[in-house]
Every structure is written in C-alpha cells, then in structure tokens.
A and B are shown apart, each in its own frame.
Chain A
Amino acid sequence: MKVTNPFKRLFADAPLATRGEITPKLGFALVVLIAAIWLIPFLWMGVATLRPPSDGINLMAELMPSFKPTLDNIRDAWEIGDFPRYFLNTTIICTGILLVQFVTVTLAGFAFARLSFAGKTLIFYLFLMQLMLVPVLLIVPNLTLVATLGLYDTLTGVMMPFFASAFGTFLMRQAFEAIPTELEDAALIDGASVFQRIRNIYVPLSLPSFSAFAIVSVTSHWNDFLWPLMVINSPDKRPLTVGLSVFTKTAEGTQAWGTIAAGTLIVIAPLLVTFLIFQKRFISSFVTSGIK
C-alpha cells in the first residue's frame, strides 16, 4: 500500500482552482479507508467468536485469530438464547410490518401524489412532522393503545404502530409524482379503475422505490430494541435484539466477550447473507430511486 506518495501528488498535480476539491482518486482512497474502518468490527467479531475461552481475556482485543479456533462460543450463545425462536419472531415482525406497509404507503403515497382533496398540503405536512418525533416519546401512548386493543405481549402489538409509515408515504409520493400523468390518462380512457391504475401503472414503475423502502423498513425493525422490549413479556415471543441483549446489557460491569461476539454474529448473519446475495439489486434500487 504505497498511498502516501500519490496521495501527495494528487494535490500537487491538480490545477490551482481545483486543488481544494476532492478528486475522484481521493474519493476512491476515502472509500477504501472507510470500508476498512467499517470492516474492522466485523473482522473482530469473527475472530472473537472463534477464539477459545482458554486464550483468556488478554487476547480478546486482538484481531489475529487464534491457532486453535473453536465453536464453543457459538454453542454457548446458542444454548443461552432460543435463537431459532427469536429468528422466527423477528422474521414475522419484519415481514408482517412490511406487507401492511406496502399497502398503506402505496395508497397514501398515491393519494398525496395524484388525488386532490381539501387540506391535502396540511395533512401531508402533519404526516411529515411525524418523522421529527423521537420514537421514545411515543412509547407510553402507543403502549396504552396496544394494551387497550388487547395486544399487549403479542407480536401484532409490536407490529401495529409501524403499519403506517411517514417515510414510506413520502418516498412513494415522490416516486409516483415522477411518473408521467399521460400514462394514467391513457389507462383512464381505457376505463381502468383507481386500483387498476395503481396496480398496473404506479406500482410496477416504482419497484426500485419499493425495494429501497423495504430495505430501510426491514433493517430498522430488525434492529429495534426498545419497543419490542416494552410490548413483549413472554420469553417465547422475544425478537432477536431482546434475546441478544441478555448478554450485552450488564448492570455492574462485566462481559463475556466471546459469547457476545458469537451471539451478535448469529443475529446479523441472515441480514448479511441476504445482502451478499442481493447486493447488486440493493445498490441499484438506491441508485435509481429517490435516494441518490
């Protein structure tokens, strides 16, 4: 890695006017650097997971793997937490939320993009205001509502507050507005109903936005800790985050790092694998969607 030399030349060669600008080369170097920084914790997690406890805590912070790797930590973590159950719960929560969200954000996005009704702008702004509220603020009112509906300690209760999404509505509105009205007019002449128009024109043309939204939605609910902690009491309804925190939230300052690393690996593995498989699609969805 002989970065230093060309690194300096980048500035020397550049015309005076652009010397302060980030050149493509520099940008690339920056990306590599950030990627390396981003990778270190993952690397450590992998190494720490496979490190036998007999190595002691001394070597725990090292990135060099142990010579005699072991699966003991993974077995420990697997035994302490009922991970298959947690996986199932998290999957149910994430897909349940996403499926309902698809319906609600499509309809709401369409309404804000194409329909005209009284107070449309005001309602839209009210919708957007929701984005500015810290979720913690809504815990008590949401929980009261969930309990009143008899959904305390149920997975439906965990999902319910997220069935409507201000961010999704906003994203879909932007996506729908970018679609030429002529397409809809043509369908209208052919006698297509509102739902037919949404289904056959708006939805297919906005697929990249939908997948962008799906990624944001799934990752945020996959990682959510506080809300499921509030709603769920039964151990068999815990999602992954709550199950994992049994190892990581300590009151008086001690931690079994190997087990924590193993548990974390188990929790993020499905997301990681999905990402690796669908990498191209994920990236292209962001490039072609509203998020640029």
Chain B
Amino acid sequence: MLFSRRLVLGLAMAGALALPARADGPTEIDLFFPVPVDGKLARDMGTLIKEFNETHPDVKATAVYTGSYDDTLIKTRAAIKAGKPPAAVIMSANFLLDMQIENELTNLDPLIAADGTTKAQFLGQFFPALHGNAVINRSVYGVPFHNSTPLLYINAEHAKEAGLDPDKPPQTFAEVTDWAKKLTKRDGDKVTRWGIAIPCAYDYCGWMMETLTMSNGGRYYNEEFGGEVYYDTPSMLGALTWWSDLVSKHKVHAPGATPGPAVSTSFISGNASMMMLSTGSLTYVRDNAKFPYKVAFIPRNVRNAVPIGGASLIIPAGLEAGKQKAAWTLIKWMTSPEKSGWWSRATGYFAPNMAAYKTPEMVEFLGKNPDAKTAVDQLEVAKPWFATYKTVPVRKTLEDEVMLVLNGKKQPKDALVAAQKAADELLKPYNAETALKLP
C-alpha cells in the first residue's frame, strides 16, 4: 500500500512540475506541420515562423514537425482527444471532410465574419479549384496553404534521342504508351531504361489512381457525400488496366509498387524517361536534373482532369478563444500573397493565393522558370481531392489492391471488386447513420 501511495504521490509531483507556468506574455501556440519535401524545408519552415514571431510580438508560435501527412493526422487526432489540440495544423487537404464528420474542426465562418469580410470575398483569394477541399456544407473549414497537381515530367534529351519532339508532349493515354515504348531501352530481356514511372506508395497511390480515373472520364468518390467511392466502375477499371498494361503487357514501366522518392530518383538518374509526379517535386527536379526536361499536363483518355493535392491550414476544435484568434492571425499571414509566393518558390508547390502571382518576385521567378506555370495552367481542369468518411483506411483498401496488380499478382477487375467490397464495409457505419437512415 505504502509503495503504491508513494508512486501516486511521485506521479502527482511530476505532473505538478510539468505544468506550464502561467504568465502574462504572448499567446503561445503550436503549429503542426508535415515536412513537404526534405530536411532543408524544415529549416525554411523555421525561417517562416521566426519571421512571424518577430512581426507579431503578442503571439509566440512554435513549428512542431509531425512526420508524414498520415502521421500528422494521427498526431492531431490524438492531441485533440487528449485535450491538447494544437492551434493550427498544415493538414493534407483531403482529411478535412473526415475530421469535420468527427467534429474535430473549427468552423472558420465566424472568424471570417469577425474580420468584416464575407465568405465569398475570403474564398475569392484562392483558385476556384481549391474551394472543394476547403468548404464543407457551405462552411469554410480550411485555408489552402500549399497545393499541387500531378504533372507529366519528360526527359527532353531522351525524347530527342528517340526521335520524339519534347515540345509536343504526349496528350493521350495512347500517346504516352507509344512514347514509353520508344523511350524504353532493352538489352536482350533486361530493361536498361524504363519509358515511364508512376509512383504507388501509400497516399501517393490513391492520388495517382484518382488522376488516371478522372482522365478516363470517371470519378473516384461522391463529391457531395462522404459515404461513397467508385472503385468498381468502368472508368477506374480502364485506368488501372492501362497502368497494369504498361507494366505487364508493354513492359515499359518497372513492375511493383514504386514509392515517390524512388520515382523521382530514377527520373533524375536517367533510368526512367518520363514520370508522373506532383508539382511539389518540381524544385527538387530543377535543382538536380543534369539534363533538359519538360513539364506537361497529365494525359487524358476521355478528358483532361486532375485532382488537387497538398495541404490546407486548419484550426482544430476545442481551442480556447485566445489561441484560436492567434491561430487565425498566423493562418492569414501564412496564406498572404507574399508568404504564399515565397513558400511556393521554395518548394515547387503552387501558391493557392491568386494574388501571389502578381507580386514582382513571382513574376520574375516565372520569367526564369516557366515550368512552374504548368501546374497553375492545369488548375483550369482541376477538381477536388477525394475525401470520404475514414479517408485513410478507405484509400488503403484501393492502394493495397493496386499494389497487387502492379506486382502481377492480381487482375485489375478482381482487384477493384475486392477494393470496393472492403471500402463499402468501412463506409457502412456512416451510411447507416446518414444515407440509409430512414424516418
């Protein structure tokens, strides 16, 4: 008994020591951020937050690094449930719906109204394609911070070698297949250079499937309702069959599920002549490619369409008013044209704030790097990123099956039927609660 009492006392004391000292100073807030590109950008984020703290003496923000997008979601949720929500989070844009369903987000409408602006004015700053992932049930829940679209990267040197014109990039699935065949180099049965590389690792794989499905005329999910995904559909089947054919029929795409970093590495090293990758990798490619390259729209089969990627800033639910206000100040500052543009130039993500492209720095930058404009041009045909109830597990059901297909262990049709079944199972509780609930 004595022992356990001592233990409890000890814990209580440890707790008392750990309690933060209350003092009248600046409002201390945490900003959770996943590292979008590499270690150097973690330093850039440090620079950004330092500048904010210097210009806002009444707020002291700390940038808290939180791993990948998926890790960031886990950490944010755990922190909210533990009663320690961070003030703001750079959250993968497609997690907002799921978080809103779980009541984990602060509705930003009142904060916008308190600033004396309307929702339309506030949203009007950002590219229209981004609104879908920021607005849920007509309320604003997220502020676009750094966003991306997938792009087709082409090694211009290889293209010329193969007698192809890099200034006229392939525009359809068929043309890509044709290019990839011409670009692939073989030594007997061994492939020494792949025609194309498309990433398929968790998170990336689902996004690429959405890209291909949309270009094939389809939809990935129900944009208006979180309880439906469209895996077992002709458009998805066509997209996956095309991808799978590149691997097993034409043998112009390396077999197996390749993670994003391996794709960019093989493109940079000349082992793959084309790749589909996020515009978020553009700065990396620009800094490391020792050959001329071209950036083009994602090819279509039926129509030109791409999903939005990247992240938005959110304020978790359950925050005290003072911190909420400080977080809002930080968010508005980070998404201003100047900062938005600065971050875009550092990373390769496009700036969601349209006015960023009118700043002199950006005009000069685009003059020097016209490749940075492709993603912005592609926004004309961009649509929201898939977002459902339980986004991550629902996404993984498809990704697991696509990986099996790329490894040659399953046929596209069987894979999609299995993925649909697993996803429906996960979505069941939400549908029972909403769509299937009868009066």
Contact = CB atoms under 8 A, between A and B. Distances in A.
Interface of A: 56-58, 60-61, 77, 80-81, 139-140, 143-144, 146-154, 156-157, 225-226, 229-230, 233-235, 238, 242, 245-247, 249-257, 259, 263
Given A57-B265, A154-B18, A252-B260, A144 B82 contact: yes
B277 interface: yes
Contacts of A156: 14, 18
Given A226-B74, A249-B35, A57 B269 contact: yes
Given A143-B78, A230-B75, A255-B38, A58 B69 contact: no
Interface stretch (B60-68, B171-179, B312-320, B384-392): B60-68
A242 B285 CA distance: 26
Contacts of A146: 82
Contact of B67 (A80, A81, A249, A256): A249
B309 to A, nearest CB: 7
A76 to B, nearest CB: 8
6 closest cross-chain pairs (CB), A and B? A253-B260, A252-B280, A254-B284, A150-B15, A147-B82, A252-B278
Query: Which residue of A147, A238, A247, A251 has the most chain B CB atoms within 10 A of its CB atom?
Result: A251
A249 B259 CA distance: 12
A48 to B, nearest CB: 12
Contact of A250 (B11, B35, B65, B269): B35
B79 A253 contact: no
A257 B266 CA distance: 13
A246 B204 CA distance: 19
Contact of B18 (A151, A226, A251): A151
B438 interface: no
Contacts of B280: 251-254
Given A150-B19, A255-B265, 7 more contacts: A57-B288, A149-B11, A150-B15, A156-B18, A252-B36, A256-B38, A256-B40
Interface string B280-313: 1100110010100000000000000000010100
Nearest to B201: A253
Contacts of B18: 149-152, 154, 156-157
A251 B261 CA distance: 9
22 contacts: A56-B288, A56-B290, A57-B269, A57-B288, A58-B269, A58-B270, A60-B269, A80-B39, A140-B78, A143-B79, A154-B18, A229-B71, A230-B74, A233-B30, A234-B62, A251-B92, A252-B260, A253-B204, A254-B37, A254-B284, A256-B40, A259-B38
Interface string B190-233: 00000000010001100000000000000000000000000000
A249 B70 CA distance: 10
Contacts, number: 151
A253 B39 contact: no
Nearest to A58: B269
A233 B284 contact: no
A177 to B, nearest CB: 24
B42 interface: yes
B1 interface: no
Given A143-B82, A252-B281, A57 B268 contact: yes
B16 interface: yes
Interface residues of B, number: 60
A251 B68 contact: yes
Contact of A60 (B71, B84, B265): B265
A60 B290 CA distance: 14
A183 to B, nearest CB: 25
B81 A252 contact: no
Interface string B17-44: 0110000000000100011111110110
Contacts of A233: 30, 62, 64, 86
A233 B78 CA distance: 13
B11 A249 contact: no
B148 interface: yes
B277 A253 contact: yes
Contact of A249 (B68, B269, B281, B309): B68
A139 B278 CA distance: 32
A250 B260 contact: yes
A104 B203 CA distance: 41
Contacts of B351: none
Contact of B43 (A80, A143, A153, A256): A80
Given A154-B18, A235-B65, A253 B78 contact: no
Interface in B245-276: 259-261, 263-265, 268-270
Given A149-B15, A246-B35, A253-B260, A230 B40 contact: no
A142 B421 CA distance: 33
A137 to B, nearest CB: 12
A242 B74 CA distance: 15
Contacts of B263: 253
B83 interface: yes
B52 to A, nearest CB: 16
A253 B67 contact: no
B43 A139 contact: no
A93 to B, nearest CB: 15
Nearest to B16: A150
A246 B34 contact: no
B78 A139 contact: yes
Contact of A152 (B14, B84, B281, B285): B84
Contacts of A256: 38-40
B62 A229 contact: no
A56 B15 CA distance: 51
Contacts of B68: 249-251
A263 B43 CA distance: 15
